[in-house]
A and B are shown apart, each in its own frame.
Chain A
Amino acid sequence: MTAKGNGGFSKSRKSKTTAASATGSTGATTNPGAGPSSEISRRQFLSHSSGAALTAGAAALVGSQPGFVRAAAAAKPFRVAMLLPSFDQRRWKAADGAFFLKRAKELGMDPLPLQSSNNDPILQASQIENLLNQNIDGLVLVAVNVDAAVASVRKANDAGVPVVAHNYIIPNVKLCGVSARDGVELGRYLGKILLDAAPKGNWVVNKGDEGTDIARLKAEGGLEMIQAQIDNGDIKIVSDQWMRAWSGDLSRKQMEQALIATNNEVAAVLSYCDCQAYGIIEALRAQGLNGKVPVTGEDGEPEMLKLVLQGDAMVTAWTKFDEMGTRSAELIYECLAKEPSKAPDRVDNGAGEVPWYKAAIENITKDGQGYKAKSVAQFAEENPWWVTKDELGL
């Protein structure tokens, strides 16, 4: 399921450099569409504002240390909470949330019930205040909007409550851990596997909601993979659109128009969301082209997996949301128990290096063929909590 919240930066780049210097270069990759210019200006704005934010934050950080002591000294189990952006997508409750709760209990912590912020950054800010008033020891936060979350994280730090950023990196404020995926990498996975299937011809690019960072990151990664082919003329992008509210109906319309404009000469469709790929496949079906034109998607939704099995869709990309939830529980535990982190990577979010667990990505295809792909059957076997082989008729 595609994350619709606002937030998440180009993490691979971020890890090499500080936020302030990265801000100018992150959006530099060419990207036709309105993405790059607005992205850069937003990030440049961030880099300017971060100076002031850091100074203000520094004072707050000093005060945050005693809180760790309090939590560690308590004999009671750590009270931790996870705040999700919405329950709009199955992943939040069934994957990220469920596995966080499971691991937290295994580690002897006392997790509060999952809460959703209804995609509303203002609601999320007051929810965090309420959680702080309930004397939680640690918070795992999926920011609805990463910039808006900065103030809340600072407030938590002031109260001595460490914060793990889940799914999106929250910039320029002290975090105790990050469990997130790399949106650009996700785009690369889809771009690469589709390029191998259709190295030449007319491509349709079906992007997510332009108002969300994750849509822009995925689009950036996908484009990166095919830029050389676009430049040398092997690939012609005949339609390239952002889809408001990740709409499947709009996606069907985009596909219908692209098929009319090219007289059905479309070689491949690079779609970044299962929710949109459904509409595209139906548009192809109306012209008897389903299964003949490779279509990508992302989220590993059961209905999409069925289409992959039928051959109507080529691939759906999957992020290990379950592991993300598990690692967030471990990261927050390490912070509270003052243990050194076992996370393999470090990322600089602009306020220092933070332990980073980077969630694994994989492509799922019918028989496991293609770039970093595994078969639907194997996927279902490994993730029975998400979809069973029975359900897929395997």
Chain B
Amino acid sequence: MTIESQGRVAAPVESAADTVGEQRSRFRDRLATVPVEQLRALSLVGVLLVIWIIFQILTDGLFLSPRNLTTLSVQVAMTAILAAGIVMIMAQGYIDLSIGSAVAFTGMVATLVIDPTRGLGWTTDPVAIIAITLLSGLAIGAWQGFWVAWMRVPAFIATLASLLALRGAALTVTGGSTTSHHGTLSFLAADFVPAHWTALAILALVLLFALVKHRDWRARVAVSKGVSFLAHVGLPVAVLAIFGIGASLVAFSYRGAPLPVVILGIVVAVVTFVMSRMSFGRRLYAIGGNPAAARYAGVNIEWHCFLVFAFMGVLYGVAGLILVSRIGVAVPTAGTGLELTVIAAAVIGGTSLFGGMGTAVGAVIGALLLESLNNGMGLMNVESSFQLIVNGMVLLVAVYFDIRGRKRT
């Protein structure tokens, strides 16, 4: 079978399995026209459900309680936002190691803007603080993008340099002190969007998704036969609808949708739109798949690289704001090792370390999988060192299956 990395524009497949039996081969053909990444996302959802059910049993029904699911959604939001962002970087074959330091730095900026004793005490207006924080993130991202794109420094090194330098800068600026936002930003982690608005937004999302899928399917049917409606439209829409109904129920029976989760939803929607609907996003995969070919095809690699790093920078700011609102203060050593969790989430979600593959939705599910493990084990008070072992093993197994799956295709 030959499938382009991005499946959606894949040509109909001439399968060697045709000889095996008509019935089976027809099914396989139809399945083969389904984007690989969609299949992977679906199987990942399956794994996630299994884990959730296991925890539901082990915790005597606590795990799937509305309160815990709401808590879980906030716990995962920061990692998931960053994971969705790093997909755009990794799709091009780059990497970002600066995440932990950059998030701690932007969080520190947010508190320094407010704090009159240890910081600048400029303003206590949340809008201004958020704007300044996002700009500081943008500046970091643009700086890294500049070095990677035009100075030809490998992303690994350019972002490693930031990992060190930004941590050092945070420590120098604060002298190692903890700085506080004095409750100014608490609303970011504490506020909820009312349940009825949440449900309406989810409904709109599902309808939009169904519309888009249906249009895709019609376009495919026009060029080739045997494109299954069920596999292309029915199943994905059904999964999203079930998820949406579940999320709405949770929102109605607890407090609504937490603000960080709403932000996550917006980020995922933006990244997904750019990556799958805009030629800019499609070119990112092309760059990751074969940079030389992309260049010959007239893609301005430098500009794409720069913009994506700059966008990631804004996400540092978003994550930094969520982090400081969640713990009330900015600690200069916060977020240590966060980049590895984010990369792990993206890779579990099907993003290739070598570029050319990955979706924001997959990365978010990957993050949710890792966080679900921590959340469930936390409910059971499993020892923290054991949690690390489980996380490590899940990463290993997930990537193994990923590689195996890729070889087959």
- Among B78, B378, B380, the one with the most A-chain Cβ atoms within 10 Å of its Cβ is B378
The reply on B226 being an interface residue by CB < 8 A is: no
Stretch at the interface among A166-174, A188-196, A242-250, A332-340: A242-250
Give complex CA distance A374, B116 in Å. Answer: 27
Contacts of B246 in A (CB 8 A): none
Give complex CA distance A281, B333 in Å. Answer: 19
The reply on A229 being an interface residue by CB < 8 A is: no
Stretch at the interface among A65-73, A137-145, A256-264: A256-264
Task: State how many angstroms separate the Cβ of A281 from the closest Cβ of chain B.
Answer: 7
- Among A241, A246, A303, the one with the most B-chain Cβ atoms within 10 Å of its Cβ is A303
Instruction: Give per-residue flags for A75-93: 1 if the beta carbon is below 8 A from chain B beta carbons, else 0.
Output: 0000000000001111111
- Among B67, B385, B388, the one with the most A-chain Cβ atoms within 10 Å of its Cβ is B385
Pick from A1, A93, A94, A245: contact of B337, CB under 8 Å: A245
Give complex CA distance A88, B388 in Å. Answer: 25
Contacts of A306 in B (CB 8 A): 180
Give complex CA distance A243, B381 in Å. Answer: 13
The reply on B31 being an interface residue by CB < 8 A is: no
**Chain B residues with a Cβ closer than 8 Å to the other chain, count:** 43
Pick from B65, B175, B178: contact of A275, CB under 8 Å: B178
Give complex CA distance A202, B328 in Å. Answer: 25
> Given A246-B333, A261-B62, A282-B189, are A301 and B381 neighbors across the interface (CB < 8 Å)?
no
Give complex CA distance A34, B385 in Å. Answer: 8
> Given A242-B384, A252-B327, A282-B189, are A257 and B178 neighbors across the interface (CB < 8 Å)?
no
Contacts of A278 in B (CB 8 A): 178, 327-329, 331
> Given A89-B176, A253-B75, are A260 and B65 neighbors across the interface (CB < 8 Å)?
yes
Q: Are B323 and A210 in contact (CB under 8 A)?
A: no
Instruction: Give per-residue flags for A206-228: 1 if the beta carbon is below 8 A from chain B beta carbons, else 0.
Output: 00001000000000000000000
> Given A210-B385, A247-B336, A252-B326, are A90 and B375 neighbors across the interface (CB < 8 Å)?
no
The reply on A24 being an interface residue by CB < 8 A is: no
Give complex CA distance A258, B382 in Å. Answer: 12
Give complex CA distance A243, B178 in Å. Answer: 18
The reply on B383 being an interface residue by CB < 8 A is: yes
Q: Are A254 and B378 in contact (CB under 8 A)?
A: yes
Contacts of A301 in B (CB 8 A): 177-178
Give complex CA distance A33, B385 in Å. Answer: 9
The reply on B123 being an interface residue by CB < 8 A is: no
Give complex CA distance A261, B377 in Å. Answer: 11
Within 8 A of B (CB), among A18-57: 33-34
Task: State how many angstroms separate the Cβ of B77 from the closest Cβ of chain A.
Answer: 11
Give complex CA distance A33, B59 in Å. Answer: 20
Contacts of A33 in B (CB 8 A): 383
Instruction: Give per-residue flags for B37-75: 1 if the beta carbon is below 8 A from chain A beta carbons, else 0.
Output: 000000000000000000000010010010110010001
- Among A34, A247, A285, A306, the one with the most B-chain Cβ atoms within 10 Å of its Cβ is A247
Give complex CA distance A248, B189 in Å. Answer: 14
What is the interface of chain A mostly: helix, strand, loop, or mixed? helix
The reply on B289 being an interface residue by CB < 8 A is: no
Q: Are A90 and B71 in contact (CB under 8 A)?
A: no
The reply on B208 being an interface residue by CB < 8 A is: no
* Nearest opposing residue in chain A for B71, CB measure: A256
Q: Are A87 and B176 in contact (CB under 8 A)?
A: yes
Instruction: Give per-residue flags for A256-282: 1 if the beta carbon is below 8 A from chain B beta carbons, else 0.
Output: 111011000000000000110011011
- Among A1, A249, A254, the one with the most B-chain Cβ atoms within 10 Å of its Cβ is A249
The reply on A353 being an interface residue by CB < 8 A is: no
Within 8 A of A (CB), among B16-47: none
Task: State how many angstroms separate the Cβ of B380 from the closest Cβ of chain A.
Answer: 8
Q: Are B328 and A241 in contact (CB under 8 A)?
A: no
The reply on B299 being an interface residue by CB < 8 A is: no
The reply on B190 being an interface residue by CB < 8 A is: yes
Task: State how many angstroms separate the Cβ of B343 from the closest Cβ of chain A.
Answer: 17
**Chain A residues with a Cβ closer than 8 Å to the other chain, count:** 47
* Nearest opposing residue in chain B for A261, CB measure: B379
Give complex CA distance A274, B179 in Å. Answer: 12
> Given A210-B385, A244-B337, are A260 and B68 neighbors across the interface (CB < 8 Å)?
yes
- Among B78, B190, B375, B384, the one with the most A-chain Cβ atoms within 10 Å of its Cβ is B384
Give complex CA distance A285, B325 in Å. Answer: 12
> Given A248-B331, A286-B190, are A243 and B176 neighbors across the interface (CB < 8 Å)?
no
Contacts of B177 in A (CB 8 A): 90, 301-302
Q: Are B67 and A243 in contact (CB under 8 A)?
A: no
Within 8 A of A (CB), among B239-260: none
Give complex CA distance A331, B289 in Å. Answer: 64
The reply on A341 being an interface residue by CB < 8 A is: no
The reply on B279 being an interface residue by CB < 8 A is: no
Give complex CA distance A241, B190 in Å. Answer: 25
Contacts of A249 in B (CB 8 A): 78, 323, 326-327, 334-335
Contacts of A247 in B (CB 8 A): 334, 336
* Nearest opposing residue in chain B for A287, CB measure: B67
Give complex CA distance A133, B294 in Å. Answer: 55
- Among B172, B176, B374, the one with the most A-chain Cβ atoms within 10 Å of its Cβ is B176
Knowing that A34-B385, A282-B189 touch, tell me 14 more A-B residue pairs with CB under 8 angstroms. A93-B176, A245-B336, A245-B337, A249-B323, A249-B335, A260-B62, A260-B67, A260-B379, A261-B59, A279-B326, A282-B326, A282-B327, A285-B190, A303-B178
A residues lining the B interface (CB < 8 Å): 1, 33-34, 87-94, 210, 238-249, 251-254, 256-258, 260-261, 274-275, 278-279, 281-282, 285-286, 301-304, 306, 391
B residues lining the A interface (CB < 8 Å): 59, 62, 65, 67-68, 71, 75, 78, 117, 171-172, 174-180, 186, 189-190, 323, 326-329, 331-337, 374-375, 378-381, 383-385, 388
A to B CB contacts below 8 Å, 22 in the list: A34-B383, A93-B176, A238-B381, A241-B381, A243-B384, A245-B333, A245-B337, A249-B335, A252-B327, A257-B378, A258-B378, A260-B62, A260-B71, A261-B62, A261-B379, A278-B328, A279-B328, A281-B328, A285-B328, A301-B178, A306-B180, A391-B117
